[in-house]
Amino acid sequence: MVKTSVQMKEMIEEFIKITKINYEDQTEKIREKSQAIEWQFRVGANVIVSKNSNRDDRVHLNVNMRFPPNDAKLLVMKNPSFSKAIMEISEICAICNVGHQWIKDKENIAGLAIFSHVDELNLDRISFHNTWDNVARVSGHVQKILRSNFSGFSSQGNQGETTEKSMYG
């Protein structure tokens, strides 16, 4: 059965409440900046669940990792370790069927977004939590890849209860 945007939002909020992780409905705040997002929840430190205005058929789930300035200095194309990390991250994302996008601040890489979606027709608690777990698992692997390729990479900005805890406890 086709679900409306409001029905999807209400379902997602109930699915988030089950986790007992703090969350914030950012719909009004995000609408002030953009009409591209219909509604959005920020869950814990780094997870965004949203519904784009131009897609009636899915809910997006993102883990946004922000890098501290000392870590970001290592993430430059001239650094062979960064090229290696890019390849490893691309491979794990492809294998796990999630997307990724480097977040830039002017010329510097400031973070990385790992994302997936749940189709509206398949939107139930299990499919939502499975997608969340998959994105969180890949996010954890990405952190390990970055730490193994860069000695001293802290990834302190990447830690959060939303990616270190399974949806089921």
Instruction: Give the pair of three-digit tokens for residue 112.
Output: 């990385």
The residue-averaged pLDDT of 53-75 equals 89
The pLDDT of residue 51: 94
Residue 104's Cβ-count burial label (10 Å; 0-12, 13-18, 19+) is exposed
pLDDT tens-digit series, residues 28-38: 999 888 889 99
Residue 56's Cβ-count burial label (10 Å; 0-12, 13-18, 19+) is middle
Q: How far apart are CA 150 and CA 62, in angstroms?
A: 24
Q: Given the structure tokens 């200095």, which residue do they identify? A: 73
Give the chain's domains with CATH numbers.
Answer: 5-164 (3.30.1460.10)
152 has a pLDDT exceeding 80: no
The backbone torsions φ and ψ at residue 53, rounded to the nearest 5 degrees and listed phi first, read -65, -30
Strand partners, 47: 43, 63
Q: Residue 38: which of 5, 8, 81, 72 has the closest Cα?
A: 5
What is the sign of the dihedral through the CA atoms of 59, 115, 70 and 165? positive
The pLDDT of residue 31: 86
pLDDT band for 94, please (50, 70, 90 cuts): very high
pLDDT band for 23, please (50, 70, 90 cuts): very high
